[in-house]
Amino acid sequence: MNLDLITSTFIIGVLAASLRLATPILLAALGEMFVERAGILNLGIEGTMLIGALSGFLGAYWTGNLWAGVLAGMLAGILFGLLMGFMSITVKANQVVAGLGITILGGGLSTLLFRLAFGLRTTPPTLDIFPTLPIPLLSRIPWIGPILFEHNVLVYLALALVPVASLVLYRTHFGLKVRAVGESPDAADTRGIRVELIRYLCLMIGGAMAGIGGSYLVLGSLGLFWTQMTAGRGFIAVAVVVFSKWDPARALLGAWVFGLASAVQISLQTLSVPIPSEILLMLPYIITVIVLVGVSRRAEFPGAFAVPYYRGGKE
């Protein structure tokens, strides 16, 4: 064991990394929360993040503007959200199958489009990522500063969207309609709420957020696109939504717990703790499972969760 490597720099580094690792998951989870609140299960988040990552890369690479990349990732995510909407709302297909189909589509399509755009290369195309943006004054607070206030703009954006999501969900007409549609589409429909429209809008929000989450990996972390680079983060986001009981503030906690578990796992390997790496690598997932099992007893899924809506009941 190399416990003498533990310095303040090391600990600060681990905690700062936990936020970076949580960011793409948080972004996707905040969007998926609206989708599930409206009564739809979208397992296509993983694929949506991948297409978001690719579009984010292409948008930024071709225009030379990182924000154009974020916008492109968002738009591609919205398109994938609409596709999920077509399958789950219009055609009323099984949502699990439709979502997994979108995930496979996103993986294949992003790889194919990347190859079509760049061909076979001897070195991968890269771009400069969003620079670290230390927040004046706050970043100079010992410990807290470098952990919380020395990140790039997308990390702050993800954190800022948590209260925004809360506000929209609990304090606006739209949020009320979303919750009504997810709990009891029949009742919502009789009150004149357009169930299908609200669900489509939520899928667009979910797709946009997953798209930004995917583009974070490219524009806020690596500066390049890689096949299957999301590596399961989309599915973790879906789990985080359940853990959060569909509440944005708790989603922040859930995403951060996973980010922290990942960062701790990485540092335990660096410190050469006498545990095989294969076991350490499972740690974040095991913690997520344990937390989910604990929460699941009291989790109350939206009343119409994963049930397609038929006006006047299914004949």
Q: How far is the CB of 10 from another protein (least distance, A)?
A: 5
Q: Which stretch binds another protein (CB under 8 A): 14-22, 25-33, 54-62, 178-186?
A: 14-22
What residue type is assigned to position 238 of the chain? Answer: V
Q: Which of 80, 110, 111, 112 is nearest to 98 (CA)?
A: 80
Query: Contact with another protein (CB under 8 A): which of 143, 282, 310, 311?
Result: 282
Task: List the one residue from 54, 252, 263, 304 that touches another protein (CB under 8 A).
Answer: 263
Question: Binding another protein by CB under 8 A: which of 71, 83, 201, 236?
Answer: 236
SS3 call for 151 = strand
Q: How far is CA 127 from CA 14, 225, 228, 243, 254, in A?
A: 26, 10, 19, 35, 31
Query: Rule CB under 8 A: is residue 86 a binding residue for another protein?
Result: no
Q: How does DSSP classify residue 218?
A: I
Please state the closest distance from residue 131 (CB atom) to another protein, in A.
Answer: 11
In the bound state with another protein, the residue whose beta carbon lies nearer, of 65 and 272, is 272
DSSP state, 132?
A: E
> Quick one: residue 272, left, alpha or beta (phi over 0 = left, psi -120 to 50 = alpha)?
left
Decide if residue 247 touches another protein (CB under 8 A): no
Chain residues 144-203 in contact with another protein, contact rule CB under 8 A: none
299 binds another protein (CB under 8 A): yes
Q: Which of 272, 154, 129 is nearest to 212 (CA)?
A: 154
Is residue 294 at the binding interface for another protein, with CB under 8 A as the rule? no
Decide: 145 and 138 in contact? Cβ < 8 Å: yes
Residues 6+ apart with CB under 8 A from 279: none
Q: Counting contacts by CB under 8 A, is residue 120 touching another protein?
A: yes
Determine if 3 is a binding residue for another protein (CB under 8 A).
Answer: no
CB of 106 to another protein, least distance (A): 8
Q: Which of these ranges, 1-9, 56-64, 163-171, 189-197, lies near another protein under the rule CB under 8 A? A: 1-9
CB atoms < 10 A from the CB of 88, how many?
29
* Distance in Å, CB of 202 to another protein, minimum: 19
248 vs 265 by CB, closer to another protein = 265
Percentages helix, strand, coil for the chain (3-state, rounded to 5) are: 70, 0, 25
Q: Cβ of residue 2: shortest distance to another protein, in angstroms?
A: 6
| 193 vs 273, beta carbon nearer another protein | 273
**Are 258 and 19 contacting, i.e. CB atoms less than 8 angstroms apart?**
no
Which range touches another protein (CB under 8 A), out of 10-18, 145-153, 158-166, 186-194? Answer: 10-18
Q: Is 50 in the site for another protein (CB under 8 A)?
A: yes
Nearer to another protein, 201 or 221 (CB): 221
Q: Which is nearer to another protein, 86 or 285 (CB)?
A: 285
Minimal distance, residue 91 CB to another protein, in Å: 21
For β-strands 150-152 and 132-134, DSSP reports them as antiparallel
**Burial profile 225-242: b = 16 or more Cβ within 10 angstroms, e = fewer:** bbeebbeebbbbbbbbbb
Q: Of 194-233, which residues contact another protein (CB under 8 A)? A: 217, 221-224, 226-232
CA-to-CA separations, 178 to 7, 103, 248, in angstroms, rounded: 48, 24, 14
